[in-house]
Structure 1
Amino acid sequence: MTAEAREAGAPEDPAADGLRPLHIALLTYKGNPFCGGQGVYVRHLSRELARLGHRVEVIGAQPYPVLDEGYDGLSLTELPSLDLYRQPDPFRTPKRDEYRDWIDALEVATMWTGGFPEPLTFSLRARRHLRARRGEFDVVHDNQTLGYGLLGDVGAPLVTTIHHPITVDRQLELDAAEGWKRRLSVRRWYGFTRMQKRVARRLPSVLTVSGTSQQEIVDHLGVRQDRIHVVHIGADTDLFSPDPSVPVVPGRIVTTSSADVPLKGLVHLVEALAKARTEHPGAHLVVVGKRPAEGPVAQAMERYGLDGAVEFVKGISDEELVDLVRSAQVACVPSLYEGFSLPAAEAMATGTPLLATTGGAIPEVAGRDGETCLAVPPGDSEALAAGLVRLLGDPELRARLGAAGRERVLRHFTWARAAEGTVARYREAIARAGGDTEGRPVPRASGGAEAGDDRLTSLASGVFASPASAGSATGTGDSAHPASAGSAAGVSGGSAVDGDRSASRASGGSPRGVDGSAPLDSGGSTSLASGGSAAPAGAVPAATTDVEGVNSESRATC
């Protein structure tokens, strides 16, 4: 239906559930559909929502989402950041004329102090954008931004997906960190998780992808269990499907690893490959991801002499990825933890036998050991090696597990099912906000924020002006600690996004609230850099130029 027809009040065709179709704003601060689960989620969920008859506007920052074509109700709105982690110049200093407002200045200041600003700064830009378009959307769906800007009124009821708490990633990296400098770097980078905890506790409706993630959101983020709803995601079973015409390459093992981080367990798989090659000399590994130039995986490959036995592929098309998985004798998910594991579901959907760990929610997807997969403990290279040897040497077992895995995915884990479950939660959220059961929102007056809205988001710092109360974002240990000497860096080496400080002023102007009205520093903000102005190009503070150990590929571009 055209915009003119909607404005004229012409009736719309019903959606697949027989009710009025919804206009959905789907937010994603990172949209890369080829690297990392969040981009994949946005791409496939948006397509299936459009197939159900809804209008979906994806609002995202760099790397921008790539959406499937051919759906009238599906569109992309670009909400650009400064793209500070882009290749080939990650951690760059923008030129003076790139600064547009105080949010840009905050983004740079947080990067300079070793933090990751994008969840916060995207949320601030999204809030401004959504409030300017009040009344256009029936529901706003945030894909794990969990930034302060999304608290309060964003012009429509808010539903949030949390794939898994990023505090899990943080702890795994801290456990693997060597030396106090590396641990300090990890803590600075993951400073945004303090904000995410506070925001998560205030959310009225949270979706997650597995029962394991649901429990960890309760345990790590303090969200009430009755606010969290499990909606399983899945594989594109039309694309990821068996094809007997694709030849299987003897000894081939395929895995997906978006980066060399402890969470993915790739180093354990490399060690397992070395052991498996003693019995199957032709065994070799193809990794969908970027080859690490250094770090644990590179060191393990050199130590075991595996240079010719491990291949990395990056930037391949969907069709090439599917054929690669089809060509493998074994698909492997060696992760220490997954909130769901799309690679497991996609491999199973092709009929390729799966060897997977029991980390996180992987067993929910992969099923029982010996029935739909082979399952081994996480972080155990000996067990992985035994699984590889067993599968590579038993064609009957491979055939049985491959067929059973495909059947399991078709029954439980498809994007069509995910979209239907998500729409049901949208309608519940709209009804709670006062809309009717078909999803029609209560009209709101244009302009202006709800009372207390700007106090809720003392935006850049996470310092809430209102007193702590039950379920509030502030609490014991979270009171305001303005940074001293006008520095954006916070207590204990934290970044400006790290929780208890705020960083405001862009050069030459007074900071404003995200709606252009309330001054940001009303909640006790500090200047963004020494001297209180945005620094010119090249003026990187000497103490913050080296962000030790930060993997820009994994944390910034995926």
Structure 2
Amino acid sequence: MISAPLRIALLSYRSKPHSGGQGIYVRHLSRELARLGHHVEVFSGPPLPEINEDDGVGLTVLPSLDLYREPDPFRTPKIKEFRTSIDLLEWLSMCTGAFPEPLTFSLRAWRHLRARLAEFDVVHDNQCLGYGLLPLARTGTPVVATIHHPITVDRDLELAAAPDWKRRLSLRRWYAFTRMQGRVARRLGWLTTVSTAARDEITEAFGVPADRMRVIGVGVDVDVFSPRPGTPPVDGRIVTVASSDVPLKGLKELIEAVAKLRAERGVELVVVGSVRPDGPAAQAITRLGLDRSVRFVSGIPDEELADLFRSASVAVVPSKYEGFSLPAVEAMACGVPLVATTAGALPEVTGPDGLASLHVPPGDPGALASAIGRLLDDEGLRMTLGARGRERAVENFTWRRTAIRTAEWYTEAILEKKAGRTIADRRL
């Protein structure tokens, strides 16, 4: 345990609270660190995290132009919204097809924090990896960073699915920020990631030596995400979480699997998330005539998400890559039988095939349909996997465990910074 309270600046360039792992990570990690007695101030751009002041966590908003907000993404700001040169950089970058938020948030963080560094023992970046972190790292305060997974994985899958050269050119411009993230990651002294699979991917994509990264898994609230005895699931209901309609999440393949199952039995798919009207998932639903069999919900709090998981006969994670997968652990914590692909960290998180989930190859609708059908037909197997999943989640994936290990990592970074050790020293 940590002997003294730490003063922590936790940076998150966007922190959508109910979808996407980064916002969930910030909300729960900050709360659990505060419960351990540490002083935490979150610095975020929009969309903002849900921070409860009663938990002892502060929130400082670093305003951006919020160019991708709903319902008017890629909007043109009014002249009065431009307050600094960073705002102008953000807008001009968007106009050229780039995604500027990691860079511009890091510059705003540097501008704000450079006068306040004496107030903090450590600065913790959450996946931003923008150039503004580098001058912060050259101060006396250690700068540490979490990389959930390298966004190059998302880029490569989208490029592979692109229909033509124009789309590929647009994607390369959009994902140009990943080059910056690789450069910054190589220059920061302390990095963590959420699984060994993510660590290996970061090593390959960013050229960061594996021994420079600490693996600290994330968790769930096992009191909220818990079984509810006496509440039977809805027959044939399949639940999945897809924070975005991109090839990475494998939603199109799951929809194709549902079409195969519909030929034999009554099933419905509930997707936590939303899709683009012209995206691959929406096109698959229309092509396969599944408009009445697939339902979408979004923006729901944890309590409603837990209720939805508990209503499922089967939960599915069909992803083509996952650096960790909070939805898998949330389903397991609820005692819901799970089908997951073998992509990325999913076998690491769920355990060997048949322990807490059934495993299938990524990108294979037939294998998904077969595994889901097997569970729907075997109540005993569903109960066994559900019980094992709950046990595995409670033993390995709680936010308190994550917070304790993260605070220990902070302390190591602080001591090494005080001792003047460099990246080169730590590799000897």
Name the TM-score, length of structure 1 as normaliser.
0.74
1:318 aligns with 2:296: no
- Give CA deviations for 1:468-520 in whole Å, capped at 9, x if unaligned: xx99xxxxxxxxxxxxxxxxxxxxxxxxxxxxxxxxxxxxxxxxxxxxxxxxx
Query: Could you tell me which residue of structure 2 aligns to residue 438 of structure 1?
Result: none
1:181 aligns with 2:145: no
Query: Could you tell me which residue of structure 2 aligns to residue 394 of structure 1?
Result: 378
Q: Secondary structure at the match of 1:141?
A: strand
Counterpart Cα distance in 1 of 2:136 and 2:399 = 30
Counterpart Cα distance in 2 of 1:141 and 1:403 = 36
8 Å CA contact 2:2, 2:408 repeated in 1: no
Counterpart Cα distance in 2 of 1:328 and 1:69 = 34
Q: How far did 1:22 drift?
A: 0.3
Counterpart Cα distance in 2 of 1:321 and 1:226 = 37
Query: Could you tell me which residue of structure 2 aligns to residue 7 of structure 1?
Result: none
Query: Could you tell me which residue of structure 1 aligns to residue 96 of structure 2?
Result: 113
Q: How far did 1:308 drift?
A: 0.5
Unaligned 5+ residue runs, structure 1? 1-16, 436-440, 442-469, 472-558
- Give CA deviations for 1:248-299 in whole Å, capped at 9, x if unaligned: 110000000012100000000000001112222x211000011431221111
Could you tell me which amino acid in structure 1 is paired with residue 238 of structure 2?
I
Q: Secondary structure at the match of 1:93?
A: coil
Could you tell me which amino acid in structure 2 is paired with residue 222 of structure 1?
G
1:132 aligns with 2:86: no
Query: Could you tell me which residue of structure 1 aligns to residue 55 of structure 2?
Result: 71
Q: Secondary structure at the match of 1:196?
A: helix
8 Å CA contact 2:186, 2:206 repeated in 1: yes
Two-structure CA RMSD over aligned residues (Å): 1.4
Change (3 A) 1:244 1:68: farther
Map of 1:343-354 to 2, 5 A cutoff? 343-354=327-338
Could you tell me which amino acid in structure 2 is paired with residue 97 of structure 1?
K
1:295 aligns with 2:276: no
Query: Could you tell me which residue of structure 2 aligns to residue 376 of structure 1?
Result: 360
Query: Could you tell me which residue of structure 1 aligns to residue 127 of structure 2?
Result: 144
Counterpart Cα distance in 2 of 1:47 and 1:149 = 26
The percentage of counterpart residues that share the same residue type is 62
Is the radius of gyration larger for structure 1 or structure 2?
Answer: 1
Unaligned 5+ residue runs, structure 2? none
Counterpart Cα distance in 2 of 1:338 and 1:33 = 19
Counterpart Cα distance in 1 of 2:271 and 2:52 = 25
Q: How far did 1:69 drift?
A: 4.8
Could you tell me which amino acid in structure 1 is paired with residue 223 of structure 2?
D
Could you tell me which amino acid in structure 2 is paired with residue 336 of structure 1?
K
Q: Secondary structure at the match of 1:152?
A: helix
Q: Secondary structure at the match of 1:128?
A: helix
Equivalent residue in structure 2 for 1:193, among 174, 178, 185:
178
Q: Secondary structure at the match of 1:419?
A: helix
Counterpart Cα distance in 2 of 1:152 and 1:293 = 42
Query: Could you tell me which residue of structure 2 aligns to residue 357 of structure 1?
Result: 341
Could you tell me which amino acid in structure 1 is paired with residue 64 of structure 2?
S
Counterpart Cα distance in 1 of 2:51 and 2:228 = 25
8 Å CA contact 2:2, 2:407 repeated in 1: no
Equivalent residue in structure 2 for 1:230, among 184, 192, 215:
215
Change (3 A) 1:375 1:333: same
Q: Secondary structure at the match of 1:168?
A: helix
Counterpart Cα distance in 1 of 2:63 and 2:2 = 36
Q: Which moved more, 1:290-299 or 1:320-329?
A: 290-299
Map of 1:15-54 to 2, 5 A cutoff? 17=1, 19-54=3-38
Counterpart Cα distance in 1 of 2:158 and 2:344 = 16
The higher relative CO (CA closer than 8 Å, separation ≥ 6) is in 1
Q: Which moved more, 1:238-247 or 1:308-317?
A: 238-247
Change (3 A) 1:18 1:178: closer
Query: Could you tell me which residue of structure 2 aligns to residue 406 of structure 1?
Result: 390
